[in-house]
Chain A
Amino acid sequence: MTKVRTSFEDSLSNIKDGDTVIVGGFGLCGIPENAILALAEQGTKDLTIVSNNCGLADWGLGLLLQNHQISKMIASYVGENKVFEEQYLNGELEVELVPQGTLAERIRAGGAGIRGFYTPTGVGTPIAEGKEHKDFNGTTCILEEAITGDVSLVKAWHGDSYGNLVYRKTSRNFNPLAATAGKHTIAEVEELVDIGRLDPDTIHTPSLYVQDLLQGETYEKRIEKRTVREA
């Protein structure tokens, strides 16, 4: 039994026009860069993308924007992207802004079979408008609904052919959540390792969440803000 695939093109053909795709990453950190490149190449249109950010104009999810492949973006922060701004202002792109913790929990809930949850985040703000309010011992909360995806795209550091995944440092971010919430999860890894080499105690995403596993040929891992100190 192996989930290893050799063609990003074949795996990405699981994404159809109009699909909802959950994409891991925070800024450019831990984004499934090879899958995004293949999706841009494939040209699938009218996508709803669920991701914390939308990349830069010329890298990450910004490439899908440039191709006019995204019709709706669900995210917590979309600054730093001129193409996004243009398409949003001319009405081409619908945007749903979600507080970051609520976004993470909505994806987690989607993967965990929880249909909705109450949270105090956003009460009294524009985010709460039109949502059910409920009082819990004096704390007002709003109802937020789970998010699931037709396909999830995630990026891990190490993975084995069963689909077990280990992430590295802060590139973990939304990836393990995205992995659980897609009907079909495509994981790309920097290094494919032999079965048994990953310590079961340290696996972040257990194999059952992953349907396709691919090893990226190269990783650019672009840095968004290079900050250093004097040596």
Chain B
Amino acid sequence: MSNDREIIINRAVQEIEEEMTVNLGIGMPTMIADKIPASKHVFLHSENGMLGIGPYPISGEEDPDLINAGKETVTAKTGASFFDNAESFAMIRGGHIDLAILGGMEVSEKGDLANWMIPGKMVKGMGGAMDIVQGAQKVVIIMNHVNKHGESKIRTACELPLTGEKVVDRLITDMAVFDFTEKGMVLTEILEGYDLASIQEKTEATFTVDEKLLEKEGSFSW
């Protein structure tokens, strides 16, 4: 795992609280599952129809009838349940999922999310992402702060087609954490190795700084 990914995942796992029902997106968010402390009692929801995902099976015990939304073989933990897809998305749209952690391509300062298609490239489909961002009680997006060309993925407005409008509650990158509130986009945490100036330089979107953070980082010129 790259260092950026590890930083993001280690920060993201802190979002998961005792007794939460959590949906983890495909890709980097799935890796968060392994980092949840065994002592923490949480239920992971898989949109293909399962509540209570366990760890990957040991070799030889893979069950083709037991997969997660990423089509990976998994196990069911004690107390798990299975259901059909309509019920699974009734749980999602009905607001019964406490937290969803998904990957992102672009996030705007309004909390818009784009994470499913790049015009001109083969479109694979949105899967369950559009339903999840509308329905989960809290939507946390994890992604690198900048793309491979060093450009900000946190935009004034998304250029890519949206997955959802004003749906992001929190954004965790390898540099910082932002919350999306009635006051707009707010920087709430600066991760190790960065300062306010470096975050401003790498962020296209306009944001304010949380008061508590500002007190701590007061020595930086603003």
Contact = CB atoms under 8 A, between A and B. Distances in A.
A174 B85 contact: yes
Interface stretch (B4-12, B99-107, B137-145, B159-167): B159-167
A26 B65 contact: no
Contacts, number: 174
A231 B117 CA distance: 38
Q: How large is the interface on A (under 10, 10 to 19, 20 to 34, 35 or more residues)?
A: 35 or more
A29 interface: yes
Nearest to A77: B125
A176 to B, nearest CB: 5
A89 interface: yes
A101 B126 contact: no
Contacts of B161: 125-126
A231 to B, nearest CB: 4
Nearest to A230: B58
Interface residues of B, number: 52
Nearest to B34: A229
Interface in A100-142: 100-105, 107-108, 119-127
B76 interface: yes
Nearest to B68: A170
Contact of B112 (A75, A89, A124): A124
A231 B58 contact: yes
Given A101-B131, A170-B49, A227 B93 contact: no
A78 interface: yes
B83 interface: yes
Interface stretch (A10-18, A36-44, A193-201, A216-224): A216-224
Contact of A225 (B49, B71, B135, B163): B71
Contacts of B84: 104, 172-177, 204
B131 A78 contact: no
Interface string B72-88: 11101000001111101
B73 A225 contact: yes
Sorted nearest first, the 4 A-B pairs with minimum C-beta distance are A101-B89, A124-B165, A101-B131, A79-B124
Given A76-B127, A107-B86, A225-B67, 11 more contacts: A26-B71, A88-B122, A100-B89, A104-B84, A124-B112, A124-B164, A157-B65, A170-B65, A170-B82, A173-B84, A222-B64
Interface of B: 46-50, 55-59, 62-68, 70-74, 76, 82-86, 88-89, 92-93, 112, 117, 122-131, 134-135, 161-166
